[in-house]
A and B are shown apart, each in its own frame.
Chain A
C-alpha cells in the first residue's frame, strides 16, 4: 500500500526566512509525485508534478525536488500570502494507478 509522510506537521517562518518541507513516500512504481497547496475551507490547488528522481520544478518562490524516497518543497524568501497547508501525494503504478495517496500536510505560517 502506498504511503506518504510529511514533515514537519507545522512550520512557522518569518517573512523572508527560507526553509524546506519534506515528503517521504513508499510506492510500488512511482507514476508521479504531486504537490498541492490548500487554503482553509478550499480544495487543494495543484502546484507541481514530478516523475523521476533528480527532477526539479519551480514556480515563483517554490521549488520542488524529487529523489527515490522523498521530495522537498523549498520556499525561498516566503511572504505572508504563502501561508497555507502544503499537501504531497503519490500516484503508483500498482493496482489503482489513477488514485492519489496524500500525506497529512504541512501547515505553513509566514509572519510579516
Chain B
C-alpha cells in the first residue's frame, strides 16, 4: 500500500491552455473523489466515482472540467481553457465501502494559471 499518488505535484500553465492531472488510488479502494482547495479554505467536493462510474458532479465542476476513471483504476481530471480562477490545489482521495477511516488523500496537484 503506497497510498494515493497524484501527478504532477505542481503545474504552471498559461491562461487558455488545457491541463490534465492523474490520480492513482489505493489499489483495493473502489471509491475515488476529487476535491479542490484554495488558500485558507477547506477542500470542496468536485466529483465522485464508484469503480468506473462517475456518480456525482458538483456544480463547481463547470463544462470545462471533465474527469474519467477508465476500468475503475486510476483517474484523470482535465481542465480545458484554464482561467486564473482555476488556480488551486486539486486533491484526489480514495476509500472503500464502509471504511472507518474516512478517505485517504493524496498530496495534491498545485495548479497555477498565469
Contact = CB atoms under 8 A, between A and B. Distances in A.
Interface of A: 4, 32, 34, 36, 41-46, 49, 87, 89, 96, 98-105
A43 B108 contact: yes
Nearest to B31: A98
Contacts of B27: none
Contact of A44 (B44, B48, B56, B105): B105
A98 to B, nearest CB: 6
Given A36-B102, A49-B100, A43 B45 contact: no
Contacts of B33: 98-99
B45 A104 contact: no
Contact of A100 (B4, B102, B104, B106): B102
Contacts of A36: 102, 105
B69 interface: no
Given A4-B42, A46-B105, A98-B31, 12 more contacts: A32-B102, A43-B105, A45-B105, A49-B102, A87-B42, A89-B102, A96-B45, A98-B48, A99-B48, A100-B45, A100-B102, A102-B44
Contacts of B105: 36, 43-46
Contacts of B101: 46, 49
B107 interface: yes
Interface residues of B, number: 24
Contacts, number: 57
A98 B49 CA distance: 10
A101 B56 CA distance: 15
A44 B95 CA distance: 14
A100 B93 CA distance: 11
B110 A41 contact: yes
Interface string B65-93: 00000000000000000000000000101
A24 to B, nearest CB: 14
Nearest to A51: B100
Given A49-B101, A98-B48, A42 B42 contact: no
For the complex of A and B, 8 pairs with smallest distance between CB atoms: A102-B42, A43-B105, A34-B102, A46-B102, A99-B45, A44-B105, A43-B107, A43-B108
